[in-house]
């Protein structure tokens, strides 16, 4: 049996605020249909999230499953499933691909995966739609897919958050019949948050939440008698006629001992079967039962699955793929276009500094200074242009990568996905993309513009510049509550690169070393420029900027690598934190 005792939840970050849930204790009847009802905003979904470890609970409360106290959300993996109101799945995948990847992430045995895939499709009625993309499914089909995703681990307890809301009557009845079949034929405990009070007669056990407190638990007939109603549609009218304290006090006084006896009986009765529901006629015995932690795929296997799924999604999203190709190959072309008028200066600079004190020598020195200034401005501008465009690519690579699918990630964690596998897959995918962009930018511009200097050093610096910005923005994505916030912060960071680098606009001396350690663009620019130390182009820069300090290539590379490591570490840490924002 799934139950909780004394759960209190307050708004995040405000310990003095009125509680959303106030010392709530509930027990759900095992192997039966349980309804969780209450007016909008009363705390039903918060209660479910608190029991699953998705909402912070004040000290003193606890959750039990089959008589065992749950101390960490990971202890519920394979034992309690959660189907949110709207199916959380990648829209570009087909139904079959969605379920197959879900199975690969939570089931280690390949034979079990193969058997379970077909059977889950049959149980939820999506076999004939297996090749449809998720984005083309109807509302009812999406709810079925959400249930199917939970059945990939076949948990004994299934919590459904308003999975029938917004559906037409036929689809609603079909979903409820599917849930009832799971309870009756497979012995599952179904907890269903539902708004349609006309359907309450189809549930064995009903829990009413009002104003953040439980005000009733019992059977349908008992609910009618307790609230003196014959039609459950009048329930909320009765509740609203009295304050929440009245109903909670009445419930505690009248039903405390009886409810405690039910909990004790259900704990004793349910403990033996909490992990092993009876065999199902729809799914063979080999595929029934929860996935124990030891039977989960390894972190390496999950990493490989996530990387394959991400690659498929990347190639299938034609709009995003077109944008990525446009900036990856278009930005280097932009650099070359802006450099065309200055190519002769770069390829064959006439920058031999004249000597002597004659009028002709002075005139030659003046011409040299003018030429050196032009050449220095052109070269430094081209280098900075490349770096800024690469930082923009980095922001585009990663700003939405985690925040944009946070709910899917948190949902998959409930079925056994390891945060380490997820974080590693994001770092590797975005990292490879960034390195390719850096290498391509270097090679294309260097060949067309005949930029002097060593290939290896310049390629390494630009690739590191793109990688560092990519992983820093990935860290933003792991920390922010929404992809919009992560994208905005990333764009601001890119926007500050040019003015705070001190290359184009001189910074006040007291700000130089306050800003410089954190500015990717400066280190990318300095490392690339210093690689030209043995060329006349570098001499032209030092002649016109004698007081400007330029970090050598090794120093610049080390700082950029440090930025990348810090960004990766924060992204890794951000993936460990739970953030369920729906």
Instruction: Give one DSSP letter per residue of 484-532, joined into a string.
Output: HHHHHHHHHHHHHHHHHHSSSSPPPHHHHHHHGGG-HHHHHHHHHHHTT
Residues 568, 572, 573, 579, CA torsion sign: positive
pLDDT of residue 209: 93
Count of positions (residues) in the chain: 582
- DSSP reduced 3-state for 80: strand
Handedness of CA 169, 170, 175, 176 (dihedral sign): positive
Q: CA-to-CA distance for 419 and 37, rounded, in angstroms?
A: 33
Angle between helices 95-106 and 406-413 (to 10 degrees): 50
**H helices present in 343-482, as ranges:** 343-347, 359-398, 406-413, 419-449, 455-479
Check whether 381 has a pLDDT greater than 90. no
Phi, psi of 515 (to 5 degrees): -90, -40
Angle between helices 110-123 and 139-151 (to 10 degrees): 150
Instruction: Enter the tokens of residue 162.
Output: 């308003």
Residue-wise pLDDT for 505-548, tens only, equals: 777 877 888 888 999 999 999 999 999 888 877 877 887 777 78
Report whether 230 contacts 224 (CB < 8 A): yes
Starting from the edge strand earliest in sequence, which strands make up the sheet with 68-70, in order? 21-27, 2-9, 62-65, 68-70
Q: How many helices (H) and strands (E) does the chain have?
A: 20, 10
- H or E segment and range at residue 222: helix 220-226
Q: Are 161 and 84 in contact (CB under 8 A)?
A: yes
Confidence (pLDDT) at 223: 93
Distance CA 170, CA 480 (A): 39
Whether residue 215 is predicted with pLDDT greater than 80 in this model: the reply is yes
Contact 491, 412 (CB under 8 A): no
Residue 558 CA to residue 511 CA, distance in Å, equals: 22
Average pLDDT over residues 65-74: 87
CB 73 within 8 A of CB 414: yes
Give the number of other CB atoms < 10 A from CB of residue 263.
20
Residue 537's pLDDT is 79
- The pLDDT mean for the chain works out to 85
Helix (H, G, I), strand (E, B) or coil at 536: helix
Q: Are strands 189-193 and 157-161 parallel, antiparallel or unpaired?
A: parallel
| CA R_g for the chain | 31
Task: Provide the CB-side half-sphere exposure for 243 (13 A, CA).
Answer: 3
290 band by pLDDT with thresholds 50, 70 and 90: very low
**Given the DSSP bridges, would you call strands 62-65 and 2-9 parallel, antiparallel or unpaired?**
antiparallel
Lowest mean pLDDT among 190-194, 212-216, 248-252, 512-516: 512-516
Closest CA to 335 of 479, 445, 211: 445
For the four alpha carbons of 175, 180, 186 and 190, in that order, the dihedral sign comes to positive
| Domains of the chain (ranges, CATH numbers) | 2-89+153-295 (3.40.50.300), 304-576 (no CATH)
- Point out the least confidently predicted range of 253-267, 343-357, 446-460: 343-357
Mean pLDDT is lowest, of 162-171, 461-470, 522-531, for 162-171
Q: pLDDT grade, residue 60 (50/70/90)?
A: confident
Task: For residue range 121-132, list pLDDT tens digits in order.
Answer: 999 999 999 999
Q: Residue 13 pLDDT more than 80?
A: no
Q: Are 403 and 477 in contact (CB under 8 A)?
A: yes
Pairwise CA distance, residues 94 & 132, whole Å: 5
**pLDDT category, 420, cuts 50, 70, 90?**
very high
């Amino acid at each position: 049996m799934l139950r909780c005792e004394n759960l209190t939840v307050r708004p995040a970050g405000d310990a003095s605020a009125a509680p959303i849930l106030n010392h709530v204790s509930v027990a759900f009847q095992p192997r039966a249909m349980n309804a969780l009802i209450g007016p909008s905003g009363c705390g039903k979904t918060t209660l479910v999230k608190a029991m699953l470890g998705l909402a912070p609970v004040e000290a003193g409360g606890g959750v039990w499953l089959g008589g065992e106290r749950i101390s960490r959300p990971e202890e519920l993996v394979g034992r309690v499933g959660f189907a949110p109101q709207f199916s959380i799945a990648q829209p570009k995948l087909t139904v079959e691909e969605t379920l197959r990847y879900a199975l690969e992430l939570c089931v280690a045995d390949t034979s079990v995966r193969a058997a379970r895939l077909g059977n889950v499709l049959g149980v939820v009625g999506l076999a004939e739609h297996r090749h449809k993309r998720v984005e083309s499914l109807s509302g009812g089909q999406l709810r079925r897919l959400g249930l199917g995703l939970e059945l990939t681990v076949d948990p004994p307890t299934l919590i459904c958050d308003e999975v029938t809301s917004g559906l037409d009557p036929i689809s609603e009845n079909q979903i409820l019949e599917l849930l009832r079949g799971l309870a009756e034929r497979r012995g599952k405990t179904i907890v269903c948050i539902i708004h349609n009070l006309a359907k309450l007669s189809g549930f064995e056990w009903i829990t009413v939440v009002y104003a953040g407190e439980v005000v009733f638990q019992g059977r349908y007939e008992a609910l009618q008698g307790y609230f003196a109603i014959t039609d459950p549609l009048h329930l909320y009218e009765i509740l609203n006629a009295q304050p929440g304290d009245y109903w909670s006090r009445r419930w505690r006084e009248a039903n405390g001992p009886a409810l405690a006896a039910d909990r004790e009986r259900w704990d004793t009765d349910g403990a033996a079967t909490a992990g092993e529901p009876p065999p199902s006629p729809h799914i063979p015995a080999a595929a029934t039962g929860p996935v124990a932690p030891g039977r989960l795929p390894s972190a390496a296997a999950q990493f490989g699955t996530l990387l394959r799924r991400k690659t498929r999604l990347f190639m299938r999203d034609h709009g995003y793929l077109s944008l990525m190709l446009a900036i990856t190959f278009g930005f280097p072309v932009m650099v070359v276009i802006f450099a065309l008028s200055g190519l002769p200066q770069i390829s064959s600079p006439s920058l031999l500094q004249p000597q002597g004190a004659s009028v002709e020598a002075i005139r030659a020195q003046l011409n040299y200074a003018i030429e050196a200034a032009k050449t220095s401005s052109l070269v430094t501008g081209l280098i900075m242009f490349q770096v800024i465009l690469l930082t923009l690519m980095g922001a585009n690579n990663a700003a939405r990568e985690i925040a944009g699918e946070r709910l899917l990630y948190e949902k998959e964690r409930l079925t056994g996905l390891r945060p380490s596998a997820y974080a590693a897959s994001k770092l590797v995918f975005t990292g490879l993309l960034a390195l390719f962009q850096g290498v391509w930018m270097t090679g294309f511009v260097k060949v067309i513009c005949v930029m002097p200097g060593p290939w290896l050093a310049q390629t390494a610096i630009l690739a590191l510049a793109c990688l560092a910005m990519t992983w820093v923005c990935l860290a933003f994505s792991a920390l922010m509550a929404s992809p919009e916030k992560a994208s905005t912060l990333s764009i601001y960071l890119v926007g500050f690169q040019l003015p705070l680098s001190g290359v184009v606009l001189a910074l006040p001396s007291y700000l130089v070393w306050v800003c410089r350690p954190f500015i990717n663009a400066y280190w990318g620019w300095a490392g690339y420029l210093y690689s030209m130390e043995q060329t006349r182009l570098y001499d032209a820069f030092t002649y016109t900027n004698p007081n400007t300090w330029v970090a050598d290539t090794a120093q610049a590379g080390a700082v950029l690598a440090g930025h990348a490591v810090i960004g990766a570490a924060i992204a890794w840490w951000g993936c460990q934190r739970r953030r369920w924002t729906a």
